Structure 1
Amino acid sequence: MTQEMILANATLVLPNETVTGSVVVRDGMIAEMDQGAAVPAGAVDCEGDYVAPGLIELHTDNLERHMRPRPKVDWPHQAAIVAHDAELASVGITTVFDALRIGSILSDPSKKYGKYARAVADEILSMRDSGGLRISHHLHLRAETCSETLIEELAEFGPEDRVGIVSLMDHTPGQRQFTDLSKFEAYIRGKYAMDAEGFEDYVAFLHGLHDRLGKAHEEATVAEAKRFGAVLASHDDTTAAQVATSAGYGIHLAEFPTTVEAARANHAHDIANIMGGPNLVRGGSHSGNVAAMELAELDLLDIISSDYVPSSLLFGAVMLGQTWGNMAKGLHTVTAAPAQYTNLTDRGRLEVGLQADMIRFRLTEGVPSLRAAWHKGVRSA
């Protein structure tokens, strides 16, 4: 039986412009589009609200927050996945790449953190395949090169897992995200209630790991991403030299470059810059790195990630639309651009023949308020 829905009298967010018009959805696909404010019989009158493609999230740590809501509290994973899925749906995200850390430290009890990615990936994939989730879930493996078990954990995944993104992460203190060691000290000591002597020992331990295993881990990650068929991303690039290394590896996405220098170098190598929605909304980086809005004003920002605040994805895109004076360009950073760079050709745009992943929202005092969301034409929020 054919399922049909018509959204009419809407401000349609197209790839390069916004127009007043309507969208007809049949059996989960965009079947027709037209311009004008007419509201046919049986259509939903959107009253001028924006109708845009569903949001695509490439890097979020939100699932980990649901699995570990308090220190030493391990929440049942299936329940955490369902809650995470519902939260993302509620803010207009219709496709997510769930970021899972791979690479653990097991040798030192005082610094130990264990592996979890393979088990959680199995749970996500099982719940996805059984139809228990509201939106589309893909895997994003965050490969921690400053760890002990990265190569073994990478080997637990294969092409059958359809890993979408693998990101090279190097959190060795004193460079990249934490070039300012005092910022790293404040973060670590605050998070783990660590004293000054313990912090110095921790830094020395991490530097030793990096010197001993970092290069081998980096090369293994690049090779495994190719085996998976995944898009390779860099993380926290700071210098043009680091970007040149990324380009040599075939990287196409740069997550959270920390300087204007790195962002410019990424564009010179045709690498897309991803910046955090929280950075945009807050007006700056919590680590003291370059502000996302500064890159936006230099036309160096390509994609937004909500990172650790799911609601920042739509809010950040609207802020960019207002800053650029072009709402279509702002929404492009969370729809068509992330779809393009992760080879999702069936979504990310309002276009006849594409999957009906869509959102409806309006602005209230400049802040977006989600009215509805659909995934494959089915109401998700």
Structure 2
Amino acid sequence: MITHGITTMYHSLSLFKDTEYAYKPIRETENVKQLIDIIDKTHHSKHLVRHRFHARLEIDNVEEIANLKTFIAEKKVHLLSFMDHTPGQGQYRNLEIYRATVKGYSNKSDEEIAQILERHQQKEKLTIDGIRELAQFAREHQITIASHDDDSLEKLELVQSFGAVISEFPITLEIALKAKENGMFTIAGAPNVLLGGSHSGNLSAPEAIRAGSIDILCSDYYPAALLHAVFEMNRKHGMDLVEMFKLVTLNPAKAIKLDHELGSIREGKTADLLIIEKIEPNFPVITAVFVDGRLIQKTNYR
């Protein structure tokens, strides 16, 4: 991560129940617990970059609530988001995209996919009161709350009633604008910028940034995209470079209430600095990284 200029990393791990068509060992309960413990240990020992844990709770994973509360009480969680990937809403409000996604992970027939879809739409989920209680418990432990895949004005109102201050991946421009108007921090994925749009057919990050509706770019599934997305928005879309860098520095620090310490070059703040050069006209690279004022990494291109 340090070679991509990331000096404070929020490891995003899903507390995910279903493995019906996209099994990933990293999502096994015991593996997730081990990773959380490793992140916590690294956070409190010698390290190159700061390590934090972003718990992404899929709201059908009701069996995991007790464990999550334990992680929170042990101060191992630093950001909590609530996710619902039930087909027919959120990221998968277009069922054809959902069916194509399932097919991309497996060789299941249309009939099998229809059965998966039906099971997901009927599965038990954490109740609204349950989400509200868990969010309150997290806030009592000074943990920032985020929503995920907001797709309606009603959902925005609901998640804000839980205390959510971050809208992660709003589905449409209308929702992103409303979330920002309501005082939430809005997030889009940096890979979305490089691709020129969402791989799920949802909000286009370049369009949303140009409209002033996005506060933060996250690495999503490709950390290297952060740096290149910033320069891409400047080069291709004419956006101010300083404002674009705030999407990956000061604004995320504000969202997680660390801007008193991180996110900008100010007297009294932690000195995290990057030296960036262009080895080709449209190819920026990081040649030096300072964390806490110390040179941590240096690279020479030839």
Change (3 A) 1:100 1:227: farther
Report the counterpart of residue 246 of structure 1 in structure 2.
159
Are 2:269 and 1:354 equivalent residues in the alignment?
A: yes
Tell me the distance in 2 between the aligned counterparts of 1:325 and 1:105: 40
Aligned partners of 2:9 and 2:51 also within 8 Å = yes
Q: Which amino acid aligns with 2:89?
A: Q
Deviations 1:171-203 (A, max 9, x none): 001111111111111112221333322222222
Report the counterpart of residue 203 of structure 2 in structure 1.
290
Deviations 1:107-155 (A, max 9, x none): x899896314332111111133221x31011111001002342323322
Are 2:58 and 1:170 equivalent residues in the alignment?
A: no
Report the counterpart of residue 156 of structure 1 in structure 2.
70
Tell me the distance in 2 between the aligned counterparts of 1:101 and 1:325: 33
Q: Which amino acid aligns with 2:118?
A: A
**SS at structure 2 position matched to 1:368:** strand
Higher relative contact order at CA 8 Å, sep ≥6: structure 1 or structure 2? Answer: 1
**SS at structure 2 position matched to 1:330:** helix
The counterpart of 1:206, out of the listed 120, 131, 136, is 120
Q: Which amino acid aligns with 2:41?
A: S
Aligned partners of 1:159 and 1:229 also within 8 Å = no
The counterpart of 1:380, out of the listed 292, 296, 299, is 296
Q: Which amino acid aligns with 1:378?
A: R
The counterpart of 2:285, out of the listed 355, 362, 369, is 369
Q: Which amino acid aligns with 2:45?
A: S
**Paired positions, count:** 291
Report the counterpart of residue 144 of structure 1 in structure 2.
58
Aligned partners of 1:279 and 1:285 also within 8 Å = yes
Identity of matched residues, %: 27
Tell me the distance in 2 between the aligned counterparts of 1:266 and 1:237: 9
Larger radius of gyration: 1
Q: Which amino acid aligns with 2:294?
A: V
Tell me the distance in 1 between the aligned counterparts of 2:122 and 2:52: 34
Q: Counterparts of 1:47-62 in structure 2 under 5 Å? A: none
Q: Which amino acid aligns with 1:353?
A: G
The counterpart of 2:138, out of the listed 210, 221, 225, is 225
Deviations 1:201-224 (A, max 9, x none): 2222211224x5453553343233
More strand by share: 1
Q: Counterparts of 1:285-324 in structure 2 under 5 Å? A: 285-322=198-235, 323-324=237-238
Are 2:244 and 1:330 equivalent residues in the alignment?
A: yes
Structure 1's unaligned 5+ residue stretches are: 1-87
Tell me the distance in 1 between the aligned counterparts of 2:292 and 2:210: 34
Report the counterpart of residue 237 of structure 1 in structure 2.
150
- Of residues 300-309 and 192-201 in structure 1, the stretch that sits farther from structure 2 once superposed is 192-201
Tell me the distance in 1 between the aligned counterparts of 2:21 and 2:152: 34
Deviations 1:293-345 (A, max 9, x none): 11111111110001000011111122233434421101011001111111112
Report the counterpart of residue 300 of structure 2 in structure 1.
none
Report the counterpart of residue 8 of structure 2 in structure 1.
95
Structure 2's unaligned 5+ residue stretches are: 298-302
**SS at structure 2 position matched to 1:150:** helix
RMSD: 2.3
Change (3 A) 1:261 1:109: closer
TM-score by length of 2: 0.89
